[in-house]
Amino acid sequence: MYAGTTFRKDSGSIVGVHQKIDRVARRYLKKHLAHTAGFPTITQILHFEGNNGPDAIKRKSPSKDEPWHYIDPSKPDDRALVGLINDHIFNLAEALRSSNEQRAAFEAAWLAHAVVDGLTPAHHYPLNDKIEELWGKPHHERLTIADKNIIRGNGSLDTISKNWQYWGVGGVFSAHLSFELGIASTIATQQFSDIDPTPAEFKQVEQEGFEAVFMKMLYRIDAFKMYDEFGTNGWTHSLATQTRDILIPEIIRTVCLAWYYAAYLAGDNI
């Protein structure tokens, strides 16, 4: 999801989708924790977005410790992102227990980022398969900035063709970016009031854990096939309506539940 550029500190503060989701989710979290003094403030959380967030790793150190926020709902064994989310929840709970404010803010921000990306339809595209097809190797083996940005084919025509498939108009990257900018423009003025999780959802996450909640939401969102529609028809009024009324509210609720579950594990007097 769009979080602004990663070249300056305040990029994304106004139109960043990750930042907006975090602000709303943090506001709802406050309503459901008896004591929130130990949980990071939204200012602390947003410090680890944008230029200090997961997206910046792609620019600063390509493929080295770079979080991979893609998940294919059609493949039950595609669990890398789920494992990453579980790790962030564990680390956040530990940081809350030990009153490590900076670590808690970092984990809360990166947890939210992973959850949001995991529920974004553009991140359900089998990107690693496409990278292997075009680059001839997995995404994590592209070890330099040049290697990540230039596909070397068999001769000049093959090189041009492969780079166009990825970077050109309608290509893999441009389609991904266009979809996420469509979301950003659709929700720019939305307030998202009265969409906080229900008591039943809080009870479910306490009893079943966050992974069950996340997977349920993943399959619900995937069933709409929003990215497939975008690939066929571009950004439509139908997609804008689904984004405003279903996609973003569901993602906000899920981020709130992820933070709540970490606090619940930490025994934060809920």
Sign, CA dihedral 261-263-268-270, equals: negative
* Confidence tier at 8 by pLDDT (50, 70, 90): very low
Mind listing the pLDDT tens digit for each residue in 84-112?
999 999 999 999 999 999 999 999 999 99
**Residue showing tokens 């069933």:** 223
Do 87 and 26 form a contact (C-beta atoms < 8 A)? no
Long-range contacts of 138-142 (CB under 8 A, 24+ apart): 139/63, 139/68, 140/63, 140/66, 140/68, 141/63, 142/62, 142/63
Closest to 72 (Cα-Cα) out of 209, 222, 250, 216:
222
Average pLDDT score over residue span 28-56 = 86
pLDDT of residue 14: 54
**Residue showing tokens 């166009």:** 164
Mind listing the pLDDT tens digit for each residue in 201-218?
999 999 999 999 999 999
User: Other CB atoms closer than 10 Å to residue 215's CB: what's the count?
Assistant: 15
